[in-house]
Structure 1
Amino acid sequence: MLDSNYLLTDEQMLQFITKGFLVLQNDLPFQLHNRIMKQIHYVLHNEGNPGNNILPRVPDIQQLFETPIVKGALSSVLGPDYYMHPHRHCHYNRPGSEMPGGGQWHKDGYWSAMRSHRPWWAMVFYYTQDVTEELGPTAIMPGSQYYEKFLGERGETYLPTGKAGTMVLVHFDLWHKASLNISNIDRYMLKFQFLRLQAPTSPSWNHQQKELLIPEGLPAVHKTLWQDVWQWLRGDDASKQVRQVASEERLVALRQQLENEDPFNRGCAADELGLLGVEAASCASSLAPLVNDHTETTALNAAYALGQLGTPGVGALIQQMTVGSKLAAERAAYGLHGAGVQAIPQLLRMLHHEDQHRRALAVFVLGMIGSSEGEVVSSLISSLHDESEWVRRHAVEALGLLKHPGEHAVSAIAKVLLASLQDELNADTLHKESTKPNANFQPYITNKIGYAAALSLLRIGQTGQVDQVDETVHSLEQALRSKDRYVRAYAMEALSHLRTEEAVDILIRFIRSARWCPDTSKASTF
């Protein structure tokens, strides 16, 4: 059992929420990191980059993730049942060079249907040697994880440094890039990804304070957005949030400030209205146009603020999702997270929108809200048969995010998984699917529907809520033969959580044939 002393503090959690990263100093001996670096050097120069096989190829790496410091940090951010994603990579930065492609500011390709501002995913960067700025560590832009657009000169560049074994825990969507290695030695960095398996029901860190205390040195202020993430991680809803009180005069002043020429001032006004909550409901109509603001930081504040203004705010966001621009509709979807269950009736009606993108957004928000009340489950099951693959993928993932999806949802997901596997066997079907909108995103996932279905069964299975065990186990057994390596990985992990006698037997037989030998390579003799 993990010692609670190694869980993150409130201050560390707030830094992760607002700045998107934490630097962790592991307490393992230098000799271990040096041995790992030598093994990686040999593999890279004699066999090439092992990619996803870096962990079994260099098994000593696993020790890094078993330390209380790392487990405590990951448990704090992603919950105690977090899962190490099967994708991992070794980044090799030679002297005098930037890594190809990685030398540009970017976000990593997202594995789920749509990015979430709430921490469902995270990454860890591990350095095998003492890393200085001269060595070219991965540069990060603090606070940029909530932005689709690159901040450019408005953002701060930060180069994490430290002794051998330094690990940087980052929000999955943080903007980052490889920096120039101006030293005379090679720089190695290993990237691992992790995901949350269920929404939080209570704080998973050393939580002491209820208030959100904002650290200094951020490119913009998003108190309402940060408050949403903070409340969600605490397992609370917006109704329990402590609100500020403002006079009518102050509301009038804020409405005027929403029209200020300076986007920073507009954004601050929107943010303050969000903190006031339903007390500022009369400002919803003035706030709504800012969801289309050309400055993204301001638009985000407006969207999140509307999500806190009760019925008028929800109505304004639904209007943006219904007829607004594609960008405004996406921002509105994020704002509706904070509205919670009160947004569900209108989101259910959005499932019949003629535009597939807007139907998918409604499905996404229902999954993020996580409630199974009313017609949510049956409506999402119906969306599994939507003509749009993009909507179907959102729907099967959303079902896995609900707190109590029920046996009908599990059965429906298992059927979707089996159907996706059947589609893999039909080359004509795969070719036909590849021409549909959105199907070409994430080419590293070859069976996108099956990927989402296997992940949802993993999420539901680890909670012990699976009633249709035989049907689920059968679908997961078939998924072990998928052509998609990530479908196979999720299926294997899901079976390990179900732990029935049949599931264990299937796992043993699969592992016997899939076992990786870290000593066997093109350079080995036998």
Structure 2
Amino acid sequence: MLESNYLLTDEQMMQFITKGYLVLQNDIPQQLHQSIMNQINYVMHNEGNPGNNILPRVPDIQQLFDTPTVKGALSSVLGSDYYMHPHRHCHYNQPGNATPGGGQWHKDGYWSSMRSHRPWWAMIFYYTHDITEDLGPTAIMPGTQYYEKFLGDRGETLLPTGKAGTMVLVHFDLWHKASLNVSELDRYMLKFQFLRLSAPEIPTWNHQSSEMIVPEGTPAIHLNLWQDVWDWLRGEQSAKQAGTISEERLLALRQELEAEEEITSLNAAYELGQLGTQGIEELIGQIINGSNLTAVRAAYGLQGAGIEAIPELLRVMKHEDEKRRALAIFVLGMIGSSEGEVVSSLIASLQDESEWVRRNAVESLGMIKHTGEQAVSALANVLIDSLKCETNDASQVNKTVNYASSQTYITNQIGYTAALSLLRIGKSGYVQEVVRSLEQALYSNDRYVRAYAAEALTHLRTEEAVDILIRFYRSSRWCPDTSKVSTF
């Protein structure tokens, strides 16, 4: 059992919420870091970048993520049942790389049909050696995890440095880039991604005070947004503002919500989400009739409205525009309640003509507590049906999907999301039916469907699931010592 002193403090959690990162120092012998770096150096120069196979190729890396420091930080942010995602990568920054400035500012490609401000995902950047600014560490822009648009010169650039073993825990959506390596040494950074398997019910860090205290020196830019994340991580719903506000203030908030400036619009959205009926009506109105951009921001604000928003969201699920239906379903997943007709409505949406809507319904069912056997059975059927529609023709992948056209790394988006939801809630249904669907998914054309299916079977741990996994691993086992230069 993890000792509480390895969990994050309230102050560290608030830094993660406001700034989007934490620097972790792993107390591990220098020899291990040196050994890992030597192994990676050999692989990169003799075999090329192994991509997702970096962990089985250099198994010693797992020791870093098994330390109490790292497990404590990830458990604090993502819950104790977090999962290491199968996408991993070794970023090799060569001396004097030719890219001006070292790279382009970006967010990593996301795995859902919509990004979440709440930390369902996180990443860790690990450096195998002492990392100084001249070696080109990954630059981050603190506090930008909530923005779709790049802040440019208005943002702060930070270059985290430290001794070998330095790890930077970041919100999945934080803007970052490789900086220029002006040294004469190779720089290796390993990027690993992690995801939350269940919504928080209680604080999973060293929680002492229910009051949200913004770190000293942090401009109070997004108090309502930060409060929403803080309360959600504590398993609590944010307190609503008492009474009603004036028509003048409501009009002002509407205008701010419709503003092009993202900071202004998000502030208005989250403030409206805390205003009870008045705020819900305004935000719902924007999802129904607002511009596409305003509707998305309104959806974020509605998360904090909680179960009071459910009746209106269920009505929006009947909207003629697929985007509006999809947004309503996204919010229901984030609210996480199975109250009333939520689950039955989401199951019905699995038959929607829009893949966007269907995919959001699949994911929301995996995020909601107490969905029941019917939902799990429906997800198992969705997974099986998605496998029947798979193609090996790359030109057909995502051809008709306009909401996630950049997600070419997921070739079966419905199946991928269904396997993830079964990983989250598969135990609460008819397990044998779930096992059968996951067994078929082990042979999907999509590598991430296969990975999720294997992990879900591992979580189920029935006799049949274990037997299926043993047979699967016998044929798929990776030998980390085999390379193009080995002979046996």
**Residues in 1 aligned to 2:482 and 2:331: alpha-carbon distance in whole angstroms:** 46
Residue 459 of structure 1 pairs with residue 424 of structure 2: yes
Contact kept in structure 1, 2:201 and 2:235, CA below 8 Å:
yes
Give structure 2 stretches of 5+ with no counterpart: none
Q: 2: distance between equivalents of 1:102 and 1:510?
A: 41
Q: 2:330 aligns with which of 358, 361, 364?
A: 364
Q: In 2, are the aligned partners of 1:156 and 1:219 still within 8 Å (CA)?
A: no
Which aligned pairs between 1:194-233 and structure 2 lie closer than 5 A? 194-218=194-218, 221-233=221-233
Cα-to-partner distance string for 1:25-66 (whole Å, 9 max, x where unaligned): 000011111111111111011100000000000011000000
**Superposition deviation, residue 431 in structure 1:** 3.1
**1:299/1:426 CA distance change after superposition, 3 Å:** same
Counterpart CA distance in 1 for 2:301 and 2:447 is: 34
Q: 2 CA distance for matches of 1:22 and 1:427? A: 42
Q: Structure 2 counterpart of 1:479, which letter? A: A
Shift of 1:412: 0.5
Q: Which residue of 1 aligns with 2:340?
A: 374
**Farther off after superposition, 156-165 or 419-428:** 419-428
Q: Does 1:449 align with 2:414?
A: yes
Q: Is the 8 A contact 1:201 1:235 kept in 2?
A: yes
Deviation of 1:470 after TM superposition, in Å, equals 1.4
Query: Conserved in 2, the CA contact under 8 Å of 1:377 and 1:409?
Result: yes
Q: Deviations over 1:100-126 (max 9, x none)?
A: 997111100001121000000000000
Task: Tell me how far apart the structure 2 counterparts of residues 316 and 493 of structure 1 sit (CA, whole Å).
Answer: 42
* Unmatched 5+ stretches in structure 1: 244-275
TM superposition shift of 1:89: 0.2
The structure-2 alpha-carbon separation of the partners of 1:317 and 1:180, relative to structure 1 and needing over 3 Å to count, comes to same
For residue 294 of structure 1, report the CA deviation from its aligned partner. Answer: 2.2
Is 1:403 matched with 2:369?
yes
Q: Note if 1:522 corresponds to 2:484.
A: yes
Is it true that 1:37 corresponds to 2:3 in the alignment?
Answer: no
Q: Please give the TM-score of this superposition, normalised by the length of structure 2.
A: 0.97
Partner of 2:294: 328
Match of 1:343 in 2: 309
Cα distance in 1 for residues equivalent to 2:320 and 2:40: 52
The match for 1:477 is: 439
Say whether residues 1:488 and 2:460 are aligned partners.
Answer: no
TM-superposed deviation, 1:424? 1.2
User: Which has the higher mean CA deviation after the structures are superposed, 419-428 or 512-521?
Assistant: 419-428
Residue 439 to residue 336, structure 1, CA distance change in 2 (3 Å):
closer
Distance apart, 1:153 and its partner CA: 1.3
Aligned equivalents of 2:182, 2:390: Cα separation in 1: 47
Judge conservation of contact 2:34–2:128 (CA < 8 Å) in 1.
yes
1:414 aligns with 2:377: no
Aligned residues: 487
Rounded Cα–Cα distance in structure 1 between residues aligned with 2:101 and 2:437: 38
Pick one of 384, 391, 401 that aligns with 2:350.
Answer: 384
> What is the CA deviation profile of residues 139-159 of structure 1, one whole-angstrom value per residue up to 9, with x for unaligned ones?
000000000111111110000
Output aligned runs, 1:4-403, within 5 Å: 4-97=4-97, 103-218=103-218, 221-238=221-238, 241=239, 276=241, 278=243, 280=245, 283-403=249-369
Alpha carbons 1:143, 1:218 under 8 Å: kept? no
How far did 1:216 drift? 3.7
CA RMSD of aligned residues (A): 1.7
Q: Provide the C-alpha distance between the structure 1 equivalents of 2:186 and 2:381, rounded to a whole number of angstroms.
A: 49
Amino acid at match of 1:418: I
Corresponding residue SS for 2:64: helix
1:499 deviates by 1.1
Letter in 2 for 1:301: N
Identity %: 72
SS of match in other structure, 1:13:
helix
TM-score using structure 1 length:
0.90
In structure 2, do the counterparts of structure 1 residues 281 and 424 end up closer, same or farther at CA, with 3 Å as the change threshold?
farther
